[in-house]
Amino acid sequence: MVKIKQLYVMLLLVAVATSSCSVPKKTLLRYYSKNQTTLDGIEAAYKKLYAQRPFSLGFSDKEFNYVSVTVITDSLQYIYEFGPQEEARLADTLVKYKLNAQGVISLISKMRAMHCTWINTVDYYAADKPQFMIFLSARPVAFSAPFGYKKYYILAYFPEPQFFDEEGRLYASKRRRRLRKINNEVYSKINDRVCYTISENFR
């Protein structure tokens, strides 16, 4: 009787441990399909603003109060952090570096509303040619399962259609010899240009 009880406990633990890995994928896909217009809109807005002046945006705290802005110039990367009471300083800084202040502030609001933690441009190489994809991470749930250490939803927006296998895993080329990993993570297909993964890191 005791052994059966122990077996149930073990099975329960295994179920919790494995479910914490598989369930978030479904919730991520649900999250994306529910908010597709807004998330794709964030990507499109960032892409447009980035073309004017390269930068990246993120939130450095769980409550989405502190914004981290990295302005990229030819000689230096300027890394700034702005608190909730520093809207004026944020706007001044954006103007100083010739960023579209209104556009960036609107992007920050959209990201906050969607609980997006980070957006930046990542370079990758396809057939030795440089390409750029947009990396967007989100932390839509405040609570995560005790065993679910991977808690950020990551979306990768590629400029052109990518290559996938039957399981929908992202490959580096048409020949499908190597999985294309980004930050050491394997990505899966949402559509031809958008891929996802769940990661323990938001950037």
Partner 1 sequence: MLTFSAPILMKFVIRRKYLSFGILLMLFCTSGVAVYSQQTWIKDTTQTSTPADAMAFINKIDSLPQSAYWSNIPPAMLLNNIRQNINHPLRLYEGISTNFCAYAALSYLVLHTNPLGYAQLMVGLYTNGQAKMEGVSFKPSEKIRQVAGTLRFKGALDIRPADQLWFLCLADHFKGYLNFFSRRYNKEGDEDRLWASVNYAKFNRMAEQLLNLRVEAAGSDLIRPWISDLYSYIHSRIGTGIVVLYLNNTFLYKKSHTTLKLGVPTHYVVLEKIEQDEDGLITVVYWDYGARSLRQVTPAFLKKIVFGVSHCIQKKQHG
Tell me which of 29, 101, 122, 145 binds partner 1, using CB under 8 A: 122
> 80: which strand partners?
69
Q: What share of the chain is helix, strand, coil (3-state, %, to 5)?
A: 35, 30, 35
- If the CB atoms of residues 9 and 95 are measured against partner 1, the closer one turns out to be 9
Q: Is the dihedral of CA 166, 171, 174, 178 positive or negative?
A: negative
- If the CB atoms of residues 45 and 180 are measured against partner 1, the closer one turns out to be 180
- If the CB atoms of residues 33 and 77 are measured against partner 1, the closer one turns out to be 77
Point out which span in 36-44, 95-103, 159-167, 180-188 binds partner 1 (CB under 8 A): 180-188
Residues contacting 185, CB < 8 A, separation 6+: 154, 197, 199
DSSP H or E segment with residue 41: helix 2-52
Point out which span in 84-92, 104-112, 161-169, 195-203 binds partner 1 (CB under 8 A): 195-203
Site for partner 1 in 55-84 (CB under 8 A): 60-62, 68, 72, 75-80
Site for partner 1 in 30-59 (CB under 8 A): none
Residue 33 CB burial class (10 angstroms; 0-12, 13-18, ≥19): exposed
Residue 1 amino acid letter? M
Residue 111 CB, shortest distance to partner 1, in Å, is 14
Residues in touch with partner 1 (CB under 8 A): 10, 60-62, 68, 72, 75-80, 117, 122-125, 128, 130, 139, 152, 172, 178, 180-184, 200-203
